[in-house]
Structure 1
Amino acid sequence: MEKKSLDEINGSVAVPDVYKNAFWKKFLAYSGPGALVAVGYMDPGNWLTSLAGGSQYRYQLLIVLLVSILIAMFMQSLSIKLGVTTRVDLAQAIARSVNKPTRICLWLLNEIAMMATDLTGVVGTAVALNMIFKLPLIIGVLLTITDVLVVLFFLHFGIRRIEIIVLIAILTVGVIFTVEVCRANPNFTQIMNGFIPHTAILTNHSELLISLGIIGATIMPHNIYLHSSLAQSRRYDEKDPIQVRETLRFANWDSFIHLVAAFLVNALLLVLGGTLFFNKGNLGNLEDVFFGLKNPNIVGSLASSLMSLLFDFALLITGLISSITSTLAGQIVMEGFINIRLPLWQRRLLTRAVTLVPIIIIGFLVHFDENQFEQMIIYAQVILSIALPFTLYPLVAITGSKKFLGEHANPLWKTILGYLFTSVITILNLLVLF
């Protein structure tokens, strides 16, 4: 018999009686998985791509960010539906549908994507430690091995408490960037103009590359796999159609609200980069933002070291918290595709050890120059974007199949829309490659 996805948390959170309790009590009970997924949309990869997009093109790429988050909402809803209605995650569902060689190839591709996700956390955490404690980047990179202990510490409290911790982290980061953007005094009218589409996104190669990085940082393969499993953490009767529909309803609300929060954080980052650095100095790396927040010529006379420290603190929080979700997603992929189960600390150590090899090699090649070192984050996002079609096409196909989902299968219009979104991302990838 096939094991349940993330068996230690599957069905571990009780929910109120569908027939008796009030809306808000139910909503709070179902809220949480969306926060764990949303934090993956706010990792250091998002930071650098959003800040770089803002510094180079001011607010023009806000439309790319908005479209990306709308597509993400659509795809996460399909992932939720798969998990809730079948009690099977996406990796398990794909593994049932393909032969062994294809399954192994997809597993390897997704492992590379997981490592690209982990890479952004390593680089972001190392940079944050460098800015706060002046630790050399190589020392910061090696110290990230210890975040295995952080993951174990959080997992010890159970999934519900992890969800609350992550939610507090999201709110903290959101408040920090709201304050910092307000201090930067952006032009509101120009921000609104950034949501108007323009053709330069497709015709300008540099702008297209940054746009693709934003897409890769916003819609990530590991979040799709993760949500299909976390949606099963609530304890409901999958044989009761009313309970299934209610679980779907509240899980989607949970996802929508937290993804809106993720969009706002990323929009604030892009606006911060566009306000501080467009025509005021080139944004080379995260350290430029750190010191820019101290510079009275950029932020104004009220700038203080507190603002730069808050920025660095937020970077450290997101780097550490995102390690939890990447660990869980990596376990889902390994279990689902090749049916190998490792304790989460071993899975975390394996992923981190393999990720550190290319990081250290590239680091020595560029002499740990921070500007070049952080470019790994940008290209990691492009790798994630290239891996996306191999996750999204199967997701759309499976959720559109009555064989898998029965009465819950996507209607034809939703399947067509899913293929359209995935095809657009694939075409953008090809444009960049050629």
Structure 2
Amino acid sequence: MKKSLDEINQSVKVPSVYETSFLQKFLAYSGPGALVAVGYMDPGNWLTSLSSGSQFKYQLLSVLLISIIIAMFMQSLAIKLGVVARQDLAQAIAQKVPKPIRYCLWILNEIAMMATDLTGVIGTAIALKLLFGLPLIFGILLTILDVLIVLLFLRFGIRRIEFIVLVAILTVGIIFGIEVFRANPAFGKIFQGVVPTSDIIHNHEKLVLSLGIMGATIMPHNLYLHSSLAQSRRYDYKDPLQVKEALRFANWDSNVHLVAAFIINALLLILGGTLFFHTNNQLASLQDVFNGLKNAAIVGKLASPVMSWLFAFALLITGLISSITSTLSGQIVMEGFLNIRLPLWQRRLLTRFVTLIPILIIGFLVNFNEQDFENLIVYAQIALSIALPFTLFPMILLTSNSKLMKEHTNNKLTTIVGLLLAGIITILNLRLIFSIL
């Protein structure tokens, strides 16, 4: 069997189980979690977090926290599959299903990868418009050039890519930290918002937004990506102690970066709740936030063009770095389900061109109206929601297979919790789809 992402598979040497400190080992294994965390901070997350804050202040922070905890659980299963079975999720599924089902799953996941790419394209184009006044159509066409950025990064090797992405995440976090600090939120009410209440289920609008947060948080491409990136570390995978340690530190890496993703999304929600909750108009677009941050009539003395610019700059960063992860995820899906390898630049161009076709068609139909474009992000979540059950259930069953996972097979409790969570997420996503449609 071909290695998953052969060019980076086992490319990063890590310390032996018998040497160095916890911190040195953590740093050696740290990186894949940063690439995965990017998927939890795309424009879909931005819109749902900001909208949740503007409508219900801090009350939906609990939903965001629960979503991240569930994501930690699911990503841990993806890590386990990669480290123990030495297969990514696409490869493992492809080996267990008949060829017709394999092709159907490939098509479904390709659509999900394109939906993921779509959010990055739109986010980047909107950021370019906000920063430089570039018309959306030109910003969209310029995203073709980000293949050059991806290729440039990949020439540095996976370790340097991980560092670049980590710096980008820290930059975005600092930007929103500054903006929230200036907004002077009510910290007591923030802590209250972290505690779940039954009102979320009974209030229809809160429920719909909660479903949106859940749908924007847990996405299939992150599971495929993590199951492959977990194999990028080079160690003796025939040594049970080394495998156990690889699982331990890969999960540390994942959880730390998912906490960072939670903090950034929480900052967005708090920003929306602090600055825009008192206004009569709920946030309908990223443009609304950009304009609001420099409008004294809306945010009072906190209004500042610098804050608006930093917001747009953070959006541009997340749009660009998402290009890296969507490229890698797309390659994993194609290689795993079809056993076809393409050079990354070809894979990137193919994905981007296929993504741009519907964007440009819809753009000309709606005269490149920004609000309609941001609505595409919402509809992209539908595609991701449809693909998610076909990713979660196979992953849980595969990691519960004793022949494949040996002593690292899921115990009964893990399997039951996994299937229960996957079932709940599926029902919630169906509810979200019906709400949107």
Paired residue type of 1:297:
A
Give the structure 2 partner of residue 105 of structure 1: 104
1:364 aligns with 2:364: yes
Give the structure 2 partner of residue 282 of structure 1: 282
201-210 or 53-62, which deviates more: 201-210
Structure 2 CA distance, aligned partners of 1:132 and 1:92?
A: 42
Structure 2 CA distance, aligned partners of 1:248 and 1:433?
A: 35
User: Does the 8 A contact of 2:94 with 2:336 survive in 1?
Assistant: yes
Structure 2 CA distance, aligned partners of 1:116 and 1:206?
A: 25
Structure 1 13/264 Cα, relative in aligned 2: closer, same or farther at 3 Å?
Answer: same
User: Does the 8 A contact of 2:215 with 2:429 survive in 1?
Assistant: no
Structure 2 CA distance, aligned partners of 1:227 and 1:118?
A: 17
Paired residue type of 2:183:
A
Give the structure 1 partner of residue 426 of structure 2: 426
Structure 2 CA distance, aligned partners of 1:396 and 1:387?
A: 15
Give the structure 1 partner of residue 179 of structure 2: 180
Give the structure 2 partner of residue 391 of structure 1: 391
Give the structure 2 partner of residue 351 of structure 1: 351
309-318 or 378-387, which deviates more: 378-387
User: Does the 8 A contact of 2:183 with 2:302 survive in 1?
Assistant: no
User: Does the 8 A contact of 2:16 with 2:235 survive in 1?
Assistant: no
Sequence identity, in percent? 71
Give the structure 1 partner of residue 82 of structure 2: 83
C-alpha displacement of 1:171: 0.5
1:331 aligns with 2:325: no
C-alpha displacement of 1:386: 2.6
Give the structure 1 partner of residue 49 of structure 2: 50
Structure 1 201/361 Cα, relative in aligned 2: closer, same or farther at 3 Å?
Answer: farther
Give the structure 2 partner of residue 320 of structure 1: 320
Which sections of structure 2, spanning at least 5 residues, go unmatched?
none
C-alpha displacement of 1:18: 1.7
Structure 1 192/286 Cα, relative in aligned 2: closer, same or farther at 3 Å?
Answer: same
1:4 aligns with 2:3: yes
C-alpha displacement of 1:206: 4.0
Paired residue type of 2:41:
M
Paired residue type of 1:379:
Y
For residue 301 of structure 2, give the secondary structure of its aligned residue in structure 1. coil
Paired residue type of 1:74:
F
User: Does the 8 A contact of 2:49 with 2:266 survive in 1?
Assistant: yes
C-alpha displacement of 1:119: 0.6
For residue 9 of structure 1, give the secondary structure of its aligned residue in structure 2. coil
Structure 2 CA distance, aligned partners of 1:174 and 1:185?
A: 17
- Computed over aligned residues only, the root mean square deviation of the Cα atoms, in angstroms, reads 1.3
Give the structure 2 partner of residue 401 of structure 1: 401
User: Does the 8 A contact of 1:213 with 1:385 survive in 2?
Assistant: no
Structure 1 CA distance, aligned partners of 2:49 and 2:382?
A: 13
User: Does the 8 A contact of 1:212 with 1:382 survive in 2?
Assistant: no
Paired residue type of 1:138:
I
C-alpha displacement of 1:80: 0.4
User: Does the 8 A contact of 1:49 with 1:378 survive in 2?
Assistant: no
Structure 2 CA distance, aligned partners of 1:427 and 1:282?
A: 27
1:372-403: per-residue Cα shift (whole Å, max 9, x none)?
A: 21111122123212321110000100001102
Structure 1 CA distance, aligned partners of 2:262 and 2:377?
A: 19
For residue 216 of structure 1, give the secondary structure of its aligned residue in structure 2. helix
C-alpha displacement of 1:302: 4.4
User: Does the 8 A contact of 1:208 with 1:432 survive in 2?
Assistant: no
User: Does the 8 A contact of 1:183 with 1:299 survive in 2?
Assistant: no
Give the structure 2 partner of residue 242 of structure 1: 241
Which sections of structure 1, spanning at least 5 residues, go unmatched?
none
C-alpha displacement of 1:204: 4.5
1:350-389: per-residue Cα shift (whole Å, max 9, x none)?
A: 1111111111122222222212211111221232123211
Structure 2 CA distance, aligned partners of 1:373 and 1:430?
A: 23
C-alpha displacement of 1:200: 4.5
Give the structure 2 partner of residue 153 of structure 1: 152
1:267 aligns with 2:266: yes
Question: What does 1:13-32 correspond to in 2, within 5 Å?
Answer: 13-32=12-31
C-alpha displacement of 1:258: 0.4
Structure 1 CA distance, aligned partners of 2:19 and 2:143?
A: 47
Structure 1 CA distance, aligned partners of 2:130 and 2:312?
A: 7
Paired residue type of 2:239:
D
Structure 1 244/310 Cα, relative in aligned 2: closer, same or farther at 3 Å?
Answer: same
User: Does the 8 A contact of 1:216 with 1:383 survive in 2?
Assistant: no
294-303 or 70-79, which deviates more: 294-303
Paired residue type of 1:430:
L
Structure 1 CA distance, aligned partners of 2:283 and 2:342?
A: 41
Give the structure 2 partner of residue 165 of structure 1: 164
C-alpha displacement of 1:196: 2.9
Q: Give me the TM-score of the superposition, normalised by structure 1.
A: 0.97
Give the structure 1 partner of residue 254 of structure 2: 255
Paired residue type of 1:367:
N
Question: What does 1:291-310 correspond to in 2, within 5 Å?
Answer: 291-310=291-310
1:172-230: per-residue Cα shift (whole Å, max 9, x none)?
A: 10000011011112222222222232345444444333322222221110000000000
Paired residue type of 2:152:
F
Structure 2 CA distance, aligned partners of 1:98 and 1:225?
A: 17
For residue 301 of structure 1, give the secondary structure of its aligned residue in structure 2. helix
Paired residue type of 1:327:
T
For residue 341 of structure 2, give the secondary structure of its aligned residue in structure 1. coil
Q: Give me the TM-score of the superposition, normalised by structure 2.
A: 0.96
358-367 or 130-139, which deviates more: 358-367
C-alpha displacement of 1:169: 0.5
User: Does the 8 A contact of 1:389 with 1:422 survive in 2?
Assistant: yes
Structure 2 CA distance, aligned partners of 1:146 and 1:30?
A: 31
Structure 2 CA distance, aligned partners of 1:163 and 1:79?
A: 19
Paired residue type of 1:288:
D
Structure 1 CA distance, aligned partners of 2:379 and 2:54?
A: 18
User: Does the 8 A contact of 2:122 with 2:374 survive in 1?
Assistant: yes
User: Does the 8 A contact of 2:382 with 2:433 survive in 1?
Assistant: no
